[in-house]
Structure 1
Amino acid sequence: MTTQDESQGGRNNARSLAELHALGIMKKMPAALQLDSTEPVDLPTVTAPSLDGVSVVQVAPAPLTEQDLVERFDALRRKHADSRERQPGEEVALEDEVLLDVLGYANERLIPYSAKENWWTRVAADPVVPGFFEALVGAKVGQSFVIELTLPEHYPVEALRGQSARFLLEVRAARELKVLDDDAPELLSRLGMGSTTDIMRKLGDELAQERLAEADRLTQERVMDVLVERTPVELSAALLDEEIRRRWADSERPLLLRKDFQQDELQDALEGWQADPLTRMDAAYRITLALALRAIAERDGIQPDRAATEAMLTDLADFTGVSREEMGRSVKEDAALAQRLFEMALRTSIIDHVMKQVTLTPAAA
């Protein structure tokens, strides 16, 4: 189920390296590079795509609107609101934050990507699944219940649009928020960012920087699209199935095992992923891109940049909450983690190499 972003109520504690592996934080590299991380898989050989004449139009940053600022300020107000944990048996209210376990079903099969565990989210209407969050109002903390609704015509999974769906939920926790008024002196004091005018200016600057970064990312994606177009390759159905299986096994399978799913139920869940057209398209794209980048690295003699590797180690240390020194020792002792870091650093170096070879045309005003 594609829904609202997880709220700020998630865990903020330092993560162990074991949790790091479980969270799959090292899965940012393209899919085919991940195929090397377990038992060998036969991959097709491709010719490195030419970088000659690659030219793309840069993506312009999305315009910043007043509504964008209002929503960012609202999120900031919620982050600094007074909160009260609701007690077992107490009812959930609109605008609460709730901790949910969710399983979604349609046509008697688990909906791909619908399984969620320990999910903090806001109880507010969401156009992606109309009626879902509204149905949480009045539910009791500790209660398990069912939400039945018809998936809208714009639901992300095209094959399920207009279908009846059933979501099994457990409300594991909830908290009531008392959000301070926009101009409350206490709110300004908690934010520590000056006056309301100062806050809005800073939020505007943050959003502008985020829009610029997003535009750069989308421009890079356009370049990657060209590489995929220039890399003809036939990918077998078996290879796509295996790639999807590995992604499913890393992300959804552990959750379903904790929910006591039996083997036939696990197989049904996997087949749901493998049958989803968008999932198959994504797997094919990622594998093709990974093969293209790897071929470019071999042709052009690209190796990971030391500075990029060091930056990744620092980011990883910040994410896990361990020191940079401890992270370095862990990488030396953990061959799998070291291999993932190497692959991520290599991918970064290859993409940097590619981006220096292409022509970027400024977007029209």
Structure 2
Amino acid sequence: MQVTETLNEGLKRGYQIQLTAAELEEKVTEKLVEAQPDVEMKGFRKGKVPLALLKKQFGDRVLGEALQETIDGAMSKHFEDSGDKPAMQPEVKMTSEDWKPGDDVQVDMSYEALPAIPELDMKSLKVEKLVTKVAEDAVTEALENLAENAQNFEPRKKGSKAKDGDQVVFDFKGSVDGELFDGGSAEDYPLVLGSNSFIPGFEEQLVGAKAGEEVKVNVTFPDDYGAENLKGKAAVFACTVKEVKEPAKAEIDDELAKKFGAEDLAALKGQIEERLSAEYAGAARAVMKRKLLDTLDEAVKFELPPSLVSAEASQIAHQLWHDENPEVEGHDHPEVEPTDEHNSLAERRVRLGLLLAEIGQKHEIEVTDAEMTQAVMTQARQYPGQERQFFEFVQQNPQMRQQLQAPIFEDKVVDFIVELADVSETEISKDDLQKAVEALEEED
């Protein structure tokens, strides 16, 4: 077997692999001899079928396997000897379209090699870490929001008319064609007007009602209503209003804290402070990570495989097109051509991806099974009731596993770099941190 280099320009590589007919014949014989002990054929004992007969019976079939194995072996040896790592699957093709058994074989192999990544002095990197302390007014604001969401309802003055947003406590009996129907009656039912929890048009007819009044509400059940016997039917509800209550913000006290699962107000404040602190830390880390990646993108330069950049640019353009055309769910749409902006972003992503992968591999950074399990569990929560099916889907889908693993790996490498870098802390306010996060979103 002879391997001849035909192309070496930048990262592009080309090789011609020449296999003689004798080499292939030897490989076929080797495979047949290996299989001979297990072959059974009429007229011969197991393992005693002559090699010549095996070649006649199975030679053509084994020849294809031998050819593929020989080419695969030649490629593996080439990558082992050269140290090249292909950016994408190498393109391999036979050059003789009229090839037939007994002829020599000539195969052309081409690929783009991954570039050599320059060494990065991580200790020389300067990283700014933003620190935001939880202020008392932020805790107070959060408490007030909780109190507003946990609003109570207090009785209005006698004779007051119900307004949108009020709670009406009433009895009702529903009938269709003069007959009461199952599930259409209740007593002391609390209904917040404007909540849209009843049949369309129902709540509006109770606006203006007073305690003690009887109101007939006329509605029509929607065509897609859950009960088959009520779909599209006109109904009358005889309602007796018992109380009209107005919304009142809950008091910020121990009782409010207990509503949210805390032992008392002090404990609730502590929980809020912890939550806000975690939110600030997460936002600050996002800003730090973006700035670090910007620094790496500028500091480390190397040639990029055109095929990787092209594939990434196409993916970016395709995704952005779907973001702008959410009504199109499938992929039967005109081809989306990447712009210069897409290509620029693709170059950044490929460069940083290769750099972080190199650092991770060199320092043996890996995603653990526990980290992957946690990531899958987090994603599975988005499909309540179908968690097991999601787990099975991930197990059977390597591409999905890669999508879940990639951001975890990236974050672990970033954390590793930050540990070695020269980190300085800068204390900023919550508002300034919010502005920094918004600036990131504008850049995306």
TM-score, length of structure 2 as denominator length: 0.40
TM-score by length of 1: 0.48
Give the greater-gyration-radius structure (CA).
Answer: 2
Q: Which has the higher strand share?
A: 2
The structure with higher relative contact order (CA 8 Å, sep 6+) is: 1
